[in-house]
Amino acid sequence: MTHMEERIVLQQGKALLADPRLNKGLAFSAAERDAFGLHGLLPQNIDTLDRQVDVAMKFLDSLATPFAQHVRLRAIQDSNETLFYAILERDLEKYLPVIYTPTIGEACRKFSEIWLMPRGLFLSWPERDRMDEILADPALHDVRVIVVTDGERVLGLGDQGVGGMGIPIGKLSLYTACAGIAPHQTLPIMLDVGTNNEELLASSDYIGWKHQRVQPAEYDAFIEQFVRAVHKRWPQILLHWEDFAAKNAAPILERYRQQLCVYNDDIQGTAAVTVGTILAANFASNARLSDHTFVLLGGGSAGVGIANLLLLMMKAEGTPEEEALSRFYIVEKEGLLTTRSPSLDAGQRRFARADWKGGVGDLAEVVHAVHPTVLIGACGVGGMFTEDIVRDMAAHCKRPIILPLSNPTSHAEAMPRDLFAWTDGRVLVSTGSPFPPIKHQGHLRRVDITNNAYIFPGVGLGVLACGAKHVTDGMIMAAARGLAAISPARTNPEGNLLPPLAEMHEAAIVVAEATARQARDEGVCEAFEDDELRQRIDRFVWSPEYQAYKKG
């Protein structure tokens, strides 16, 4: 619908003002105030959306901290979704770090203290027999994308219990702000199976189920019940898993990826945006993936997911698998993953080294021994890329690619300004959290953010546009290539690796097109012609505009 079309509305009075999808605040016209019984409930002034955005942004600017801004924006979202997204549309680059990383970490920690209004669904273990009943709410009929978490591994913060709900809310805000997927077609879900965070269990403020996390057999049964209930309610849903512990994330993805359209952003999204960033860096360094030696600090679901996608891309370039595997070194806190390492999971085992002759293989030892060209941090521990390690790497590499991806900001493996200083400005760097611009050779340079928001909104939009039944590895590879294709470094080797955050919507469209074409080529969606793809995408793109209301 355009803003010129009238929308039939059944609510009136306070019920209308209490519906965040319909509320327009002071922008209700005089005729609408007559028709819907709003006189006396609103001040006399009649405003426009643009003016409301101006007022809201002025107040946001007056707040002392990003967290205070986050709380205010969430309050606006829960009262007037159109206004919320109009604010983000006005300046996404400014507010993305407020509604998502790094500020979302503090919001998750304080979720119980700041929670005021219901948003999304809380499916708890004690109420598991009510799951079908809860999902049956008619208001959820048109849901197309679900982001679900169990809150066990939130960013680098660990178990946050129901506080993890802040992540699905934030992710879905970006599905809408970046890709334009309508808010009413998105649903955040928290699977409350308890928490092992003793501080939360002891807190009188904690609003979740105060119980230790259920045992593995019970947990697996709960996940199975949830997936079956979701698939029954929404057979064509895109089910996005978020912030599950490493022991559960990959097994859940593999268990259900052929049953319905599922996606794990920690594994697939992180991998796609990282590989897209490296492909962009290759424009600047005039290299191919097969030219690189990769050292990854962190062998969890994110690190192994990145390695797996890089391996697939190298094989697609024509590199034999054995040769490609020889390019990877994954380092955990105990040292390099080798075939002698205890308790390797299936993903780690694939990249474990059988040829390591050194000691435990800490990061410094591995970097010194193998002379990597790409250093990736996904360990969740700040400061791990030390000056000695970076200088050692840079001594053997003309354009070192260094990606400290852990967030929030305090967990970054290195500060971009230090990386520039330690490599004499030769580094190609992108981070997992936002940093201020760096002054180098008299010029300010924007610090790229390898943020999953470059990937998952576009993947979701592409899936909806083509009706994909599954999210395949090929689709994730296509998303990474799509992102690299719009890198400023493609035409300017000294340019940034990624587009600015202000161009997230354009990036989402490119990624959506690449994802949908790959789905079609693999036969996991209905057939379509290239010239109709943009029309398919546009059908799912919503804009934050007020419509005129007509009483039903």
Minimal CA–CA distance to 312: which of 275, 262, 270, 264? 275
State the pairing for strand pair 443-445/438-440.
Answer: antiparallel
Minimal CA–CA distance to 330: which of 294, 292, 289? 294
Distance CA 235, CA 240 (A): 14
Does 242 count as an annotated binding residue? yes
Does 282 count as an annotated binding residue? no
Q: What is the dihedral of CA 502, 505, 509, 515, to 10 degrees?
A: 90
Tokens representing 309 are 């996608």
The answer to whether residues 26 and 42 touch, using CB atoms and an 8 Å cutoff, is: yes
Distance CA 113, CA 166 (A): 12
Instruction: Give the count of beta carbons closer than 10 Å to the beta carbon of residue 198.
Output: 10
Helix (H, G, I), strand (E, B) or coil at 335: strand
| The residue to which tokens 């490119």 are assigned | 510
The answer to whether residues 393 and 375 touch, using CB atoms and an 8 Å cutoff, is: yes
Element (H or E) spanning 449, and its range? strand 448-449
Does 243 count as an annotated binding residue? yes
Tokens representing 196 are 């092992």
- Which of these is catalytic: 85, 100, 175, 454? 100
Residues pairing with 428 in the sheet: 401
Dihedral over Cα of 174, 178, 179, 183: its sign = positive
End-to-end CA distance of the chain: 17
Distance CA 443, CA 421 (A): 14
Does 19 count as an annotated binding residue? no
Does 33 count as an annotated binding residue? no
Catalytic, 247? Answer no
Distance CA 469, CA 487 (A): 29
Looking at residue 472, the DSSP 8-state letter turns out to be -
Distance CA 115, CA 117 (A): 6
Dihedral over Cα of 48, 53, 56, 59: its sign = negative
Does 407 count as an annotated binding residue? yes
Distance CA 124, CA 213 (A): 11
Residues pairing with 440 in the sheet: 443
Rg (C-alpha) for the chain, rounded Å, is: 24
Tokens representing 299 are 């062998």
Distance CA 108, CA 167 (A): 7
The answer to whether residues 406 and 381 touch, using CB atoms and an 8 Å cutoff, is: yes
State the pairing for strand pair 335-336/328-332.
Answer: antiparallel
| The residue to which tokens 């979720």 are assigned | 111
State how far the alpha carbon of 321 is from the alpha carbons of 287, 324, 462, in Å: 19, 5, 30
- Which of these is catalytic: 85, 171, 454, 546? 171
Catalytic, 100? Answer yes
DSSP H stretches of helix in 115-153 = 131-135
Residue numbers annotated as active site: 100, 171
Q: Which residue ranges are tagged as binding site for a divalent metal cation?
A: 242-243, 266
